[in-house]
Structure 1
Amino acid sequence: MTAGPPLIVTRPEPGNAATVRRARAMGFAVHAMPLFAAHPVEWRAPAAEDFDALLLTSAFAARLGGAEFAGLASLPVHAVGAATARAAEAAGLTVARIGTADAQQLLDAMASQDIRAILWLCGRDRSEFDARGAAITPLPCYAVDPVPPPAAWADLTAAPAVLLVHSSRAAKRISDLVGAARAHLSLAAISPKAAAAAGEGWRDVAVADRPDDVAILAQARALWHKGAK
């Protein structure tokens, strides 16, 4: 597959390295180009008995949350994506449900079970969701901040390439960095929301059918084959 357009992985570490390994195993000519860096922020766990469930929409919450998670171990975790669920289990939490689409679909499923008091361990910058009547308490335990693009970014994006888009924030950042000259670039997005945040004018946009690396890389492979023709 290395004869076609390169694959650019923009997500923060440690996810970037994991995605790069998977992509190389599939035969991509892949470049690690993280545009954000994640770090913990100070937080304190509230009383677990005040909540029915814990919502995790990113693996960063479990990876960077630290020792405060111990006080929440009694709460069932509802996680978006398998990677987030694995990180939660590694942090000593019990996963009750794994959402295979996005946070809104997972919240809809929680509402159908009459789960009303939800603690959302989230990032400092977060999306808004329809709570469906539930009381959602957002509690930032990490932050993902922009970093300068790697030195090779301008050259790589000046030629045909496939970019992986793992979040809506990443989509917006890529769009801002690339500007209007984008008709030669293709995007593989983790979700419809991320794809929409990238705007229009790309050569091709493909959306993963679930929020994980296997699905987004499958879409990247399809885009690679179109770009190689």
Structure 2
Amino acid sequence: MMRGLPLIVTRPEPGNAATVERARVLGLDAGAMPLFAAHPLSWEVPRAADFDALLLTSAQAVRLAGPALANLSSLPVHAVGAATAEAAEAAGLTVVRVGPADAQSLLDGMTSENIRRILWLCGRDRSELDPHGAMLEPLPCYAVDPVDPPAEWAAQIAAPAVILAHSARAARRIAALAGPARAHLALVAISPAVAAEAGAGWAELTASAQPNDAAMLALAHALCHKGGK
């Protein structure tokens, strides 16, 4: 039985639906309120022989790269997170390492093993990574852009609720759209850095110790039931 405060999931699809499903399995009253949408960009495939490895930091890169991705299948893949690794394997790529944490940690491990020429298939908007002297070539193949809030957004944030922020951009946009309503809203951020982007004034503001859905939903579960009492 679902009870407690409602949970608002704001990430783009298809991740949104996956998070909502996981939340509902936990008994949370979760609803999809995507504030962003991902779409492919045109990109030119470089010579795979010019690189030692392929870095993937999001499953969106695999889903939206298109058939040209097959031209990079000879490169060993280093992926951030199980979802990215699973998408890469489903696309016929060979995953040699799955980083459970952030992209920088995974890149640190790659460069410590003297992997010097790294192709990063990524989004148009991305974090800055330090390759420690290695060649890291970002190649954007998709973009994630804001979309109008769903029609139910205003009604959903008019009363206490818990909201998930899966990125720094999401945290900033949620804060802007929530306005003074944040005084009765709880925000769960995927990391402390993302929480810092959300600003002050929230009824609750907490950050996941691990940057993944499971850790975020554990925090959300506690907040939903705390606020629903």
Partner of 2:56: 56
Partners of 1:206 and 1:220 within 8 A in 2? no
Secondary structure of the structure 2 residue equivalent to 1:199: coil
The aligned residue for residue 82 of structure 2 is 82
**Alpha-carbon distance in 1 for matches of 2:2, 2:34:** 21
Structure 1 residue aligned with 2:135: 135
Aligned partner of residue 183 in structure 2, secondary structure:
coil
Alpha-carbon distance between aligned partners in 2 of 1:123 and 1:37, rounded to the nearest angstrom: 12
Indicate conservation of the 8 Å contact 1:10/1:32, yes or no: yes
| Residues 8-19 of structure 1 mapped to structure 2, 5 A cutoff | 8-19=8-19
Supply the distance in 2 between the matched residues of 1:206 and 1:143 (Cα, whole angstroms). Answer: 27
CA RMSD between the two structures: 1.5
Alignment of 1:7 with 2:7, yes or no, is: yes
Once the two structures are superposed, the pairs formed by residues 36-185 of structure 1 within 5 Å of their partners are 36-185=36-185
Alignment gaps of 5+ in structure 1 = none
* Matched AA of 1:89: E
What is the deviation of 1:131? 1.9
The answer for the alignment partner of 1:204 in structure 2 is 204
Question: C-alpha displacement at 1:171, in angstroms?
Answer: 1.1
- Name the aligned partner's letter for residue 220 of structure 1: A
Query: Counterparts of 1:145 and 1:197 in 2: how far apart (Å)?
Result: 18
Give the partner amino acid of 1:218.
Answer: A
Do 1:39 and 1:64's aligned partners in 2 also have CA atoms closer than 8 Å?
yes
**Range moving further from structure 2, 203-212 or 132-141:** 203-212
Say if 2:3 and 2:27, in contact at 8 Å, map to a contact too: no
> 4+ residue runs of structure 1 moved beyond 6 angstroms?
none
Q: Note the residue ranges of structure 2 that are not aligned, 5 or more in a row.
A: none
Identity percentage of aligned residues: 68
After superposition, give the CA deviation of every residue in 1:119-168 in whole Å (9 maximum; x if it has no partner): 11111111112222221111110111110000111121121111111111
TM-score, normalisation: structure 2: 0.94
Matched residue SS, 1:120: strand
Per the TM alignment, residue 178 of structure 1 is displaced from its structure 2 partner at its CA by 1.3
What CA distance in whole angstroms lies between the structure 1 residues aligned with 2:30 and 2:172?
21
**Does the residue aligned with 1:115 lie in a helix, a strand or coil?**
coil
TM superposition shift of 1:190: 1.8
Tell me whether 131-140 or 199-208 shows the greater mean CA deviation.
199-208
Post-superposition CA distance 1:62-103 (Å, at most 9, x none) = 111111111111111111111111111111111111111111
Confirm or deny: 8 A CA contact 1:188 1:219 kept in the other structure: yes
How many Å separate the matches in 2 of 1:226 and 1:106? 35
**1:116, distance to aligned residue in structure 2 (A):** 1.6
Displacement after TM superposition at 1:180 (Å): 4.1
- When structure 1 is superposed on structure 2, of 189-198 and 134-143 the one drifting more is 189-198
TM-score (norm 1): 0.94
Indicate if the aligned counterparts of 2:54 and 2:119 stay in contact, CA closer than 8 A: yes
Distance 1:193 1:118 in 2: 25
Which range moved further: 172-181 or 18-27? Answer: 172-181
How far did 1:37 drift? 0.7
Which residue of structure 1 aligns with residue 194 of structure 2?
Answer: 194
